[in-house]
Amino acid sequence: MHRYSRMQTILLYIVLLLLATAFLFPLLWMIVSSFKNEAQIFADLRSFKAFVPTSFSLENYHQVFARIPFLHYVWTSVLYVTLIMLFGLLVNALAAYAFARMEFKGRDVLFAIVVALIIVPFESILLPLYIVVDEFGWLNSYTGLIVPFIANAFNIFMFRQFFLNLPRELEESARIDGASTLRIFFQIVVPVSKPVFTTVGILTFITHWGDFMWPLIMTTDDRVRPLQVGMQFFFHQPPVQYGQVMAALTMATLPLLIVFIFFQRYIIQGIAQSGMKN
């Protein structure tokens, strides 16, 4: 029996290794190709050399910075994603705490609506959202990029599930001492909820770093154009050089890889501690 279990474990690791390799190959090809010239990329395309750095040059990276305002695109993405993350943590956590701890008429119905919104695809609200943002005069502005995405149904759900699992004793003791609801939230609940705050923050960053459709339709110039949209215009800017395209993609992917590598354990911990308590 012990030997059978050991064989199962070995087989599982082999399957996971094969899957990891399959997912990593495109990423490896992109990074390696970013250091090759155009001719070398296509010469190595049909062999294993496509994944081997047969040549090494930073010229593709130099050309990306020369042809487009790449650092400005990065700054725009960092700014608006960070603001969405920070304001979102505050708004979604407060909303979730109200659903988890406060008693008010229609609470369960409102929360059911929030949960239902999780499955609504963004494409179905794209046009109405565009019309509303246009009416407010927020097109081609940071406000239009940030405000519509501060409140997030899934993040509210995550926070609420975590708060439900917190013991009430500390909150009740503070309330007896005369602490207000907001003071209890910021001084007692928030400090013990670091795992879920970290998880939601990381997931928000990863989600909005790759935003494309909404910034594409509501930005018209480079002043507020984020990285993903700016790169799309670069990809169609003649002459199209695939080595430079790979260099731009590598630099755009690097922040996500860093976040995932250093914070993946917090994501797992936060989701595990959120639980599925009703």
pLDDT in tens, 61-110: 999 999 989 999 999 999 999 999 999 999 999 999 999 988 888 889 99
Tokens coding 182: 């907001």
Contact indicator for 162, 193 with CB cutoff of 8 Å: yes
Q: In this predicted model, what pLDDT tens digit does every residue of 135-157 receive, in sequence order?
A: 999 999 999 999 999 999 999 99
Average pLDDT in the 6-33 region? 84
By 3-state DSSP, what share of the chain in percent is helix, strand and coil, each rounded to 5? 75, 0, 25
**Residues 256/206, Cβ–Cβ less than 8 Å:** yes
- How many CB atoms are closer than 10 A to CB 256? 13
Give the whole-angstrom CA distance, residue 270 versus residue 259.
Answer: 15
For the segment 217-259, what is each residue's pLDDT rounded down to a tens digit? 998 888 888 999 988 888 888 888 888 999 999 999 988 888 8
| Residue in the structure block whose two tokens are 């395209």 | 245
Most confident of 36-45, 163-172, 200-209: 200-209
Cis peptide before 239 (omega within 30 of 0): yes
Q: Are 95 and 156 in contact (CB under 8 A)?
A: yes
For residue 178, the SS3 value is: coil
Rounded Cα gap, residues 223 and 204, in angstroms: 23
Tens-place pLDDT, residues 191-216: 988 888 988 998 899 889 988 999 99
Statement: residue 1 has pLDDT above 60: no
- pLDDT, position 19: 84
The DSSP annotation for 142-155 comes to HHHHHGGGTS-HHH
pLDDT for 270 equals 61
Cα angle: 201, vertex 74, 204; to 5 degrees: 15
Task: Please return the burial class of 96, using the count of CB atoms within 10 Å of its CB with bins 0-12, 13-18 and 19+.
Answer: buried
Could you give the 3-state DSSP secondary structure of residue 55? coil
Q: Specify the pLDDT at position 278.
A: 44
Tally of CA atoms within 13 A in the half-sphere of 244 that contains its CB:
19
